[in-house]
Amino acid sequence: MPELPEVETIRRDLEKKILRKKITQVFLDKKMRVKRPSFDVIKTLLNKKFISVGRIGKLMYFTVDKNCFLLVHLKMTGQLILKMKLPPHPGPLLGQEREHIVGGGHSMKTEKIDLLPNRQTRAWIKFSDKSVLYFNDLRRFGFWQVVDKNTLEKIKSGYGIEPLTKSFTLNNFFKSLKNKKTAIKVVLLNQKIISGIGNIYADEVCFLSGIKPNRKVASLTKKEIEKLYLAIKKVIKKAVEKRGTTFNNYVDSDGNKGNFVTHLQVYGRAGEKCYKCQNKLLKIKAAGRGTVYCEKCQN
């Protein structure tokens, strides 16, 4: 699942490409998941324009007007792919029409993204310049939802403090951990406490802070909590700068692979040597997720 850095990369790139273009067609497949409550997606969006693209945690929201928003969540296998027409080729193929494919989210291994729509396409939006924004979702966990401002604010209020925002202060972080009796990784993955962090960055944060992911929050000292806070800020900031992490399935909204993967210290490296101490990295279950850590560097 794309986490905060990946979704933020998609948001920034799409905002450069789709704003203020008139929506001329909207299609929803019968297998498309529209989360309720929702206004009629097609009737609401048709002949409108997106004026901004926002995000809270892993949820994107496309602003239609001050009281209308399209929410898009990619979940496990969702992908937004923008297919655009380019000017005729200037070289030997003069006059031949060209297409540009950009995508963000999970690449579909069973389908080529240049063949759109395909069997995994659940919805699409066509703009006045003939560009089309496709929503693919293999497992159909992702969703769209059209809501008013009050509903959006209610949804946003259910999210915890988010790294890289002004509200993510050390004091607020201390408050968010108060009276928590679960493992630290459980807290990091809980979107109601801290929004946007998933399995990849939770492991990286724990390693950078020197804390075992299965440590109980109540056992952390104030100094350790501060280290955890600083690690979250550093890891997420760096990941956004590097346009996210790529393994086999993530491409950003220009079709590029995020290169934070070269900065990963523990995630996906079980059994390999720790870069710091050369000790063998261990894999355990924490928060119900596969978790990698170094028993020597993390306490």
The closest alpha carbon to 6, from 70, 59, 65, 85, belongs to 59
In the predicted model, what is the mean pLDDT of residues 56-64? 97
The answer on 142 and 33 residing in a single domain is yes
Q: Which of 157, 179, 203 is the last residue of a domain?
A: 157
Asked if pLDDT for residue 97 goes beyond 90, the answer is: no
pLDDT of residue 39: 98
Mean of the per-residue pLDDT values of the chain? 89
CA distance 104 to 2: 9
CA distance 168 to 138: 34
In the predicted model, what is the mean pLDDT of residues 154-174? 96
CB 292 within 8 A of CB 203: yes
Q: Residue 106 — very low, low, confident or very high, per pLDDT cuts 50/70/90?
A: low
Q: Is residue 100 part of a domain?
A: yes
Neighbours of 194 (CB within 10 A): 25
Asked if pLDDT for residue 149 goes beyond 90, the answer is: yes
The answer on 103 and 22 residing in a single domain is yes
**Which domain CATH number covers 69?**
3.20.190.10
- Which residues are known to be catalytic? 2-3, 58, 289
Residues facing residue 65 across a β-bridge: 68
Q: Is residue 298 part of a domain?
A: no
Asked if pLDDT for residue 189 goes beyond 70, the answer is: yes
In the predicted model, what is the mean pLDDT of residues 29-54? 97
Q: What are phi and psi of 169, to 5 degrees?
A: -105, 165
Length of the chain, in residues: 299
pLDDT of residue 112: 58
Q: Is residue 162 part of a domain?
A: no
**Residue with more model confidence, 255 or 65:** 65
Query: Token digits for 223?
Result: 């100094």
pLDDT of residue 192: 96
The answer on 9 and 149 residing in a single domain is yes
pLDDT of residue 255: 58
**Which domain CATH number covers 244?**
1.10.8.50
Least confident among 75-84, 166-175, 196-205: 75-84
Q: Is residue 153 part of a domain?
A: yes
Q: What are phi and psi of 82, to 5 degrees?
A: -105, 125
Q: Is residue 108 part of a domain?
A: yes
Q: Is residue 71 part of a domain?
A: yes
pLDDT of residue 110: 43
pLDDT of residue 108: 44
For residue 119, the one-letter residue type is: R
The answer on 248 and 176 residing in a single domain is yes
CA distance 294 to 292: 7
In the predicted model, what is the mean pLDDT of residues 187-193? 96
The answer on 283 and 144 residing in a single domain is no
What's the angle, vertex CA 225, arms to CA 175 and CA 193, rounded to 5? 45
Asked if pLDDT for residue 196 goes beyond 90, the answer is: yes
pTM as predicted? 0.87
Q: Is residue 164 part of a domain?
A: no
Least confident among 47-56, 227-236, 251-260: 251-260
The answer on 43 and 127 residing in a single domain is yes
The answer on 230 and 142 residing in a single domain is no
Q: Is residue 68 part of a domain?
A: yes
| Domain that residue 98 falls in | 4-157
DSSP string, the chain: ---HHHHHHHHHHHHHHHTTPPEEEEEE-TT--BPSS---HHHHHTT----EEEEETTEEEEEEETTEEEEEE-TTTEEEEEEEEEPPPSSTTTT--EEEEEEEEE--TTS-TTS-S-TTEEEEEEETTS-EEEEEESS---EEEEE-HHHHHHHHHTS-B-TTSTT--HHHHHHHHTT--SBHHHHHH-TTTBSS--HHHHHHHHHHHT--TTSBGGG--HHHHHHHHHHHHHHHHHHHHTT-B-SSSEE-TTSPPPBGGGG-SSTT-TTSBPTTT-PBPEEEEETTEEEEE-TTT--
Least confident among 49-63, 69-83, 87-101, 213-227: 87-101
Number of domains in the chain: 2
CB 42 within 8 A of CB 28: yes
**Residue with more model confidence, 246 or 226:** 226
The answer on 120 and 44 residing in a single domain is yes
pLDDT of residue 114: 61
